[in-house]
Amino acid sequence: MAIGDSHGNSRFDHSAIERAARLRDKVDRDVFIVSVGDFGFWPGLRGESFVAGVDELARRHNLAFWAIDGNHDYPGDGRSSRAGYRAWSNPTPSEDQPGLVHVPRGTVVEIGGVTIGLCGGGASPDQDQRQPGTSWWPEEMITDREVALIESSGRTVDLLIAHDTPWRPPDFATSLDVSPKVRTLMAENQLRLAEIVAAWQPRLLVHGHFHHSYRATAPGPDGTSIQVIGIDDENIDTSIETVDLAAFADKMNQRERRAATGATDTSLPT
């Protein structure tokens, strides 16, 4: 279950956990949660209280809760504070381990025959109105080094869960009221994510950041298509997307068999 940007909204995240627990009990199959960034890692007692509450509730319901970092998430120093995401980072997350973890950029896991790549990071449209070190952090963007590490791994994925997207969502405002500097930074992050897409070659991309719920098809780097799901923010009705990994794996196998015979299938594998 992928959930949209929550920005530290406890009510939204707690409702998502409870919905995931009900879904697991209904289908009698494992369910885990992935936040697509701007989760709510924040400095001070406010941030510590929020993340501790999500972790406690996820453990109580015996659910894994993964969070990638967004442009508004506080990295922390990884030592003295449990508010920042570095203190919660785990490069080898397990869907069977209850509680909250931050999944670092470039992490790849395989679950039920589906290879999943995760990559947080984005540029803040409102960074000119934020205070560096207090409400904005330069670590927010994907770096060239992170792209290079992903490219050098030689791995590919079936599903990419990211905060940003290389493509502007359809029906989204054609312009944002941002400075030329910020517009350039946003484009740079999208270009780096496009390089990651070219390296990983996913068939499905799930993302947040734009607070816009939609489904679309984008051109893949190898001449195929990528199905894209954008998730809204802080809305229990429009900010949750469930991906059935067993059905996804079956769909991928069907596509491979069709490709071997020259047939095509562009339907969404979710």
- Contact at 8 Å (CB) between 206 and 66? no
Domain that includes residue 115, residue range? 2-260
pLDDT at 267 over 60: no
- Cα–Cα dist 158/154, whole Å: 14
195: domain CATH number is: 3.60.21
Residue 266 placed within a domain: no
End-to-end CA distance of the chain: 11
Summarize pLDDT for 228-260 with one digit per residue, the tens.
Answer: 999 999 999 999 999 999 999 998 887 665 555
> Hey, which bits of the chain come out as E strands?
2-3, 33-35, 64-67, 99-102, 107-111, 114-119, 159-162, 204-207, 214-219, 225-230, 240-241
Buried b (16+ CB within 10 A) or exposed e, 121-150: bbbbbebeeeeeeeebbeebbbeeebbeeb
DSSP conformation letters of 105-171: TTEEEEETTEEEEEE-----TTGGGS-BTTTB-GGGSPPHHHHHHHHHH----SEEEESS-SSPPTT
In a domain? residue 267: no
Per the structure, the count of domains in the chain is 1
Asked if residue 140 belongs to a domain, the reply is: yes
**Whether pTM exceeds 0.85:** yes
Tens digit of each residue's pLDDT (9 = 90 or more) over 148-204: 999 999 999 999 999 999 998 887 655 567 889 999 999 999 999 999 999 999 999
